[in-house]
Structure 1
């Protein structure tokens, strides 16, 4: 794997020249994986025992520097670290996420939600389907993330994985995070992952199909969450290793896709952890 990474990154070096916007909030050190905060994916986290536990042992994935794999492992680890993975959980926009069987194995009681089949097809998304072995172990509802039903309350944890950037606008995604806190018990934890624009602090994509969040958007979310009764610790330090600086261009190489080119922006994944007071 290391030899393959070295050869492939050398061959693509001329493409990895995207200007990077530095973090606007000073940080002391790179965030680790074991004790997650609101953070960006970086190479070092893939090497930690806790990441390997969730990615390889629990999810059964082969090792690779892929940001979607990181998102799945990040959600599981944050809920296990700060919440109750054997508690009552609520998932938004779940699609066919592989983390659901893992949660069930740990004793979680889940209500999972997604768009209706008609809405999903209109937007070109795959509809939620679950293996027969777990269908009877969870509850499912059609829910629009812009209109969370008032009866979804008293959950120990909730999550969304790469969903909130697709619900209409930057503001819609932030409003969803804020309103979803009503679904948690006091002391509950919310964990989300979404797209992060690290190539610009000013310009970004704010469109109905997909949005890219910036440092300034995360900073504004912190204040909104605090007013709602939640707490966030933020460390958006950028990694400084060779793969942290590499930008993957289409067609993407799955094992090396931590940062991706979505013209005219370079994007990566950000994980958000919110504690409800």
Structure 2
């Protein structure tokens, strides 16, 4: 078939012209950002489909009463976000069930404390690195007396937390009006500065029923310092008291990890070693449950930037149960430790 006039539309390929290295690197960086954004678009759409199916989201009912789940030390997972037990705590937290590990951490701590009979009037709780989190108000609404602590604002290590609005200096940012009136809150919640890396001796008096921290022990500079904090915090508890801490878990349990720096990543072997250390001191960590059938949200690893709007074409809300920390796949894990009688 003769090409005729079509011949003018057929262009011969031009000789490839390679860009300068610096230009090529900038192009690759821009395209990598667009690729991340495109993946986040698909993940955010997946979230909306789960909301439409009634698995989570703003339209799901929030049970008024808590429900038993039999939690032990445990990693974050999609099934928990969609569970009735977490939906109940969303009511107290002033949130709807969404696929984010920080929501899971708060719900996990509250559920464990409730299951262990600790959310009752007369209990005494000590929280570390509380920042502006809702847990002090949640505990106080159940009649628990709370001492909330955070790093002294004059400490240079507090600068980044202050800059990002995550540092605490008093009780005002901790108050939640939907849970109680201010007078009832003030009667039960106090604040003081405390360094997790060097706990004040007067806090280690064995008088508390509850100690907790939410994703704080991984910021103490090393894996060892994080584990040492957990051990020291046990001295704040009476026998029979309970410690609940959430931290960062490297899902690659056999490879390398971040062992030092501003954020470290614990692996299963480190948490098992911590359990052995605590057992030697008369305490008991509840069994570590990391085995579960992964669902789609458990297989999505979120990449930076996280929820700060600096994506190419606008903010998105993809699932954030898994994330990349220094190139390592990570999630949140909660450990539960029952205080025993310390050895003489």
Range of TM-score over shorter length: 0.7 to 0.9
CA drift of 1:80 comes to 1.3
TM-score by length of 1: 0.84
User: Which protein has the bigger strand share?
Assistant: 1
Question: Equivalent residue for 1:258?
Answer: 321
Aligned counterpart in structure 1 of residue 119 of structure 2, from 85, 110, 130: 85
Q: State how far apart, in whole Å, the 2-side matches of 1:118 and 1:254 are.
A: 35
Deviation string, structure 1 residues 46-92 (Cα, Å, up to 9, x no partner):
1221110012x111102201100000111111111114123100001
1:46 aligns with 2:81: yes
Q: Which residue in the other structure is 1:240 paired with?
A: 294
Change beyond 3 A, Cα 1:42–1:173:
same
Which residue is equivalent to 2:198?
147
Tell me the distance in 1 between the aligned counterparts of 2:44 and 2:133.
33
Q: CA deviation at 1:155?
A: 0.3
Does structure 2 retain, via aligned residues, the 8 Å contact 1:83–1:189?
no
Correspondence for 1:177 among 230, 240, 254: 230
Q: Which sections of structure 2, spanning at least 5 residues, go unmatched?
A: 1-38, 47-66, 176-181, 307-315
2-structure distance, mates of 1:77, 1:7: 32
How far is the alpha carbon of 1:250 from its aligned partner?
2.1
User: Residues 125 and 6 (structure 1 numbering): CA distance in 2 closer, same or farther, change over 3 Å?
Assistant: closer
> What is the alpha-carbon distance in structure 1 between the residues aligned to residue 302 and residue 102 of structure 2?
14
Choose between structure 1 and 2 for higher RCO, CA contacts under 8 A separated by at least 6 residues.
Answer: 1
- Tell me how far apart the structure 1 counterparts of residues 68 and 261 of structure 2 sit (CA, whole Å): 32
Query: Is 1:74 the counterpart of 2:108 in the alignment?
Result: yes
Does the 8 Å contact 1:168/1:210 carry over to 2? yes
Deviation sequence 1:94-123 (CA, Å, 0-9, x none): 111111111110001011111000126654
Task: Tell me what 1:17 maps to.
Answer: none
Distance 1:254 1:88 in 2: 37
1:164 aligns to what?
217
In 1, Cα distance between the equivalents of 2:84 and 2:211? Answer: 24
Query: What does residue 60 of structure 2 align with?
Result: none
- Verify the 8 A CA contact 1:33 1:74 in the aligned structure 2: no
- Which is further off, 115-124 or 260-269? 115-124
Q: How many residue pairs are counted as aligned between the two chains?
A: 253
Q: What do you get for the CA RMSD once the two structures are aligned? A: 2.4
Cα distance change, pair 120–80 in 1 and its aligned pair in 2 (3 A): farther
Greater shift in the superposed pair: 39-48 or 167-176: 39-48
Secondary structure at 1:117 match in 2: coil
Structure 1 residues 238 and 197, CA, compared in 2 at 3 Å: closer, same or farther? farther
Query: Between Structure 1 and Structure 2, whose CA radius of gyration is higher?
Result: 2
